[in-house]
Amino acid sequence: MRCPYCGSLDTQVKDSRPTDDSASIRRRRVCPDCGGRFTTFERVQLRELIVVKRSGRRTVFDRDKLQTSIEVALRKRAVAPERIERMVNGIVRQLESSGEAEIASSAIGELVMEGLKALDDVAYVRFASVYKNFREARDFEELLGQLSADDVEGETNAPPARADD
């Protein structure tokens, strides 16, 4: 791991432990060249995934890019960072456990839309407008109509609320 202070590649791990969610490992490192101390978070990657774009181009799956696109959709929304992290972890686990080495970008987009729909309606609409390449106000109206219909269906099928909820 490269030292963020002097760029040395010869850093030493002083402490290593799993994070609270056990999705990554927290490592405290020291650089013997400059004495700088820093923390890294490392994730276990089950397999390398290849994303197949609409154009047919193939690229290595980038978890950070997934997280950034979700955070952009959720910008200025009151959603706890832990919930975002859980959503990203869930999508990555689904992709890794699918058994496929190559994943269509559209499949990833659908998983993100599913997660955002459950997390925040506004973020869902924001993401959908980019993902589905909305061109007119009518596109928004159709999506909002579907969202409203889904909400009504969810209310009729929901179990009755308990007094202690």
What is the overall mean pLDDT for the chain?
Answer: 85
Q: Which two tokens stand for residue 106?
A: 């559209």
Q: What is the pLDDT of residue 112?
A: 94
Question: Would you state the pLDDT for residue 136?
Answer: 83
List Cβ neighbours of 33 (8 Å cut-off, separation of 6 or more): 3, 6, 8, 10
Res 165 pLDDT > 70: no
Q: Identify whether the C-beta of residue 58 lies closer than 8 Å to the C-beta of residue 52.
A: yes
pLDDT above 90 for 15: yes
Helix (H) or strand (E) holding 48: none
Q: Residue 56 pLDDT more than 70?
A: yes
Q: What residues does each domain of the chain span? A: 12-43, 50-149
Largest Cα–Cα separation, the chain = 65
- Can you read off the two tokens belonging to residue 105? 């970008």
Distance (Å, whole) CA 62 – CA 68: 10
> Does 103 score more than 60 pLDDT?
yes
**63-73 vs 81-97: helix crossing angle, rounded to 10:** 140
